[in-house]
């Protein structure tokens, strides 16, 4: 317990706003920001799980994030040489994390991947119609969202992805995931994509150079993955530690009482549409969006249902019941949650009350509060995510399981 108290004291010395992150050379171990290569809503900055893992666990400890998102916690645990496990009910999330992980654990030189991709992308010809490679169904779904020339270039990259194998296929997948939303002509935020509000003809006139953006993203991705790979001591098949899993179901992937530290940002009540925000990726990769949407907890799409909040609380409590089984006695769970100051009425009050009720579950199930940390969310993050526009703060809650 004395060590834990020392660890908690060390956490208190961190500036959790991370406004001044300092300058690190390419040889230094540092957080990996997987959000740069796939936009996913309501993700936290990598410095949060990196700091928690570094201080609250040791090498070889098992770290679990049951709400993976873009894999932020998972990749920090890899860098810090922990046994990293993650899961999400969303197949877009899981496929993205698996693709990056498979690239990282490859025995091949990452520079070779880069050269192969550059060679293939150089075969693009402006005069050819690559959208003919798409099925009629896919064309009908995608044409309303993109400038014609931009979609043709995106279709060429999709063709390369479809024709590639193994690690190179994963590389094209990551880069497609990185580009699709930003290339869309719908520039007014994820909420418009989630609500199926297509861009108008004037917005679709603006051409975005997909091939050039691909080349830039490729260079950036390979550069950063080289640093991550250099810092992973035990290169094993971590892809086996990534699961598509709905936490309201019994967990058959992780043995009970084996996890040392859980770090996660659970779904916020009625604020985010994780699946619908990714609709363009579902279209491109022929995946069922509605199946994942039905497994979402607290989806914004269901916010007008009479029992939306009570349903959220019921599913979250069931989810944490299953998640709790994986955690060792005296293991720690760190939750990153929205925090509203000076609220009196409206949706924020309802959301805060829901979160308060959720935290009561931990109190009733033998968890001891160790520390609460309030941090300011940057204006940039709020501006980029309309659902967070009214959210200025996050609370990091650290609890210990005590049976």
DSSP characters over 218-238: HHHHHHHHHHHHHH-SS---G
Q: What is the mean pLDDT of residues 286-295?
A: 94
pLDDT tens digits for range 318-352: 999 999 999 999 999 999 998 877 665 566 777 88
In which band, very low, low, confident or very high, does the pLDDT at 392 lie, cut at 50, 70 and 90?
confident
Neighbours of 137 (CB within 10 A): 10
Q: Which of 32, 45, 5 is nearest to 394 (CA)?
A: 45
Instruction: Read off the pTM.
Output: 0.93
Number of Cα atoms under 13 Å in the Cβ half of residue 251? 27
In which band, very low, low, confident or very high, does the pLDDT at 393 lie, cut at 50, 70 and 90?
confident
Mean pLDDT, the chain, whole residue set = 90
| Residue whose entry in the numeric block shows the structure tokens 């006695």 | 329
The yes-or-no verdict on residue 384 having pLDDT over 50 is: no
pLDDT tens digits for range 139-186: 999 999 999 999 999 999 999 999 999 889 999 999 999 999 899 999
The yes-or-no verdict on residue 27 having pLDDT over 80 is: no
Q: What is the mean pLDDT of residues 374-397?
A: 68
**Which residues does residue 262 pair with via DSSP β-bridges, in sequence order?**
64, 333
The yes-or-no verdict on residue 208 having pLDDT over 90 is: yes
The yes-or-no verdict on residue 401 having pLDDT over 80 is: yes
């Amino acid at each position: 317990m004395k060590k834990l108290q020392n660890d908690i004291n060390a956490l208190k010395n961190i500036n959790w706003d991370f406004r001044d992150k300092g300058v690190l050379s390419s040889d230094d171990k540092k957080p990996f920001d997987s959000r740069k290569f796939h936009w996913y809503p309501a993700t936290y900055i990598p410095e949060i799980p990196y700091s928690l893992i570094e201080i609250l666990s040791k090498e070889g400890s098992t770290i679990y994030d049951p709400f993976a998102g873009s894999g932020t916690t998972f990749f920090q645990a890899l860098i810090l040489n922990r046994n990293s496990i993650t899961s999400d009910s969303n197949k877009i999330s899981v496929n993205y994390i698996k693709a990056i992980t498979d690239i990282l654990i490859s025995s091949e030189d990452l520079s070779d991947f880069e050269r192969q991709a550059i060679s293939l992308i150089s075969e693009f010809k402006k005069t050819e119609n690559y959208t003919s490679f798409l099925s009629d169904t896919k064309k009908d779904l995608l044409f309303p969202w993109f400038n014609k020339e931009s979609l043709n270039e995106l279709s060429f990259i999709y063709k390369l992805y479809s024709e590639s194998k193994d690690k190179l296929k994963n590389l094209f997948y990551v880069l497609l995931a990185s580009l699709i939303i930003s290339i869309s002509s719908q520039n007014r935020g994820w909420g418009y994509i989630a609500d199926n509000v297509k861009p108008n003809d004037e917005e679709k006139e603006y051409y975005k150079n997909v091939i050039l953006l691909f080349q830039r993203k490729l260079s950036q991705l390979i550069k950063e993955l080289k640093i991550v790979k250099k810092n992973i001591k035990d290169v094993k098949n971590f892809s086996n530690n990534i699961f598509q899993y709905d936490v309201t179901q019994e967990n058959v992937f992780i043995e009970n009482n084996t996890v040392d530290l859980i770090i996660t940002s659970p779904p916020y009540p009625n604020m985010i549409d994780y699946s619908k925000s990714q609709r363009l990726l579902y279209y491109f990769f022929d995946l069922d969006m509605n199946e994942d949407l039905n497994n979402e907890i607290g989806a914004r799409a269901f916010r007008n249902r009479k029992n939306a909040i009570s349903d959220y609380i019921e599913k979250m409590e069931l989810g944490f019941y299953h998640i709790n089984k994986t955690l060792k006695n005296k293991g720690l769970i760190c939750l990153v949650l929205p925090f509203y100051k000076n609220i009196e009425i409206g949706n924020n009050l309802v959301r805060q009350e829901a979160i308060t009720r959720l935290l009561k579950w931990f109190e009733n199930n033998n968890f001891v509060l160790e520390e609460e940390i309030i941090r300011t969310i940057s204006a940039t993050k709020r501006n980029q995510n309309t659902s967070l526009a009214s959210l200025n703060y996050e609370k990091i809650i650290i609890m210990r399981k005590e049976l």
